[in-house]
Amino acid sequence: MPYEAALRAFHASLAAARPQGFGGSCSYRIGGGYADWYLVDDSAALDRLNEASVGNRARASHDMVAHISSEGAGKLLTLVSGEPRSESGFETRFSKPRGMTYRELYERLNSLTARPDVTLWRRMMVLGPPPEFCLASRSELELPIEMSPETLSREVL
């Protein structure tokens, strides 16, 4: 598929450029579309990543992806727990129940987030669409209905 080949080329060019603070990237086939994940050390690294994505090394692959892509939306997530990995599995997106504190939520999720194959991500500064949280895991996870969970399979390209 041309779009997937273009995405792979783009991520390879970013890896070759290695902007400061960039920890890696990958694309997933998820639900009916695609999701790109970029790991950065801090928000300052976003500027360097943006520059690298349209710089000499990545420009051609960036433009190819942009030309083929019809829609785009993004959000910034911060790692709450676990070690980030690029692997196929599942994303369980969910919301914190109204009235529950973050501390209570994290304690309630501890039996899941303590597993080595689970990472918990939280949306930052309400940048991007809801829901606020994402659990990435190798296996499907069950969450209480009051968290409005949505589980999608994801496959690394």
Grade residue 125 by pLDDT with cuts at 50, 70 and 90: confident
Q: What's the first-to-final CA gap in the chain, in angstroms?
A: 11
Q: Which are the contacts of 66, defined by CB distance < 8 A and separation ≥ 6? A: none
Q: What is the pLDDT of residue 75?
A: 82
Q: What is the pLDDT of residue 72?
A: 66
CA pair distance 119, 85, nearest whole angstrom:
8
For strands 89-94 and 118-123, give the pairing.
unpaired
* Cα→Cα distances 59→38, 46, 53, 106, Å: 17, 17, 6, 41
pLDDT at 101 over 80: yes
Better-scored residue on pLDDT, 63 or 17: 17
Q: What is the pLDDT of residue 69?
A: 75
CA pair distance 84, 57, nearest whole angstrom:
26
Q: What is the pLDDT of residue 118?
A: 97
pLDDT at 107 over 80: yes
Average pLDDT over residues 50-79: 79
On whether the pTM is more than 0.85, the answer is: yes
List the structure tokens of 9. Answer: 């080329």
Q: How much of the chain, in percent, has pLDDT values that exceed 70? A: 98
pLDDT at 44 over 80: yes
Grade residue 70 by pLDDT with cuts at 50, 70 and 90: low
Average pLDDT over residues 64-90: 84
**3-state secondary structure at position 21:** coil
DSSP H helical ranges for 36-151: 44-53, 59-68, 102-113
pLDDT at 126 over 80: no
Amino acid letter, residue 93: R
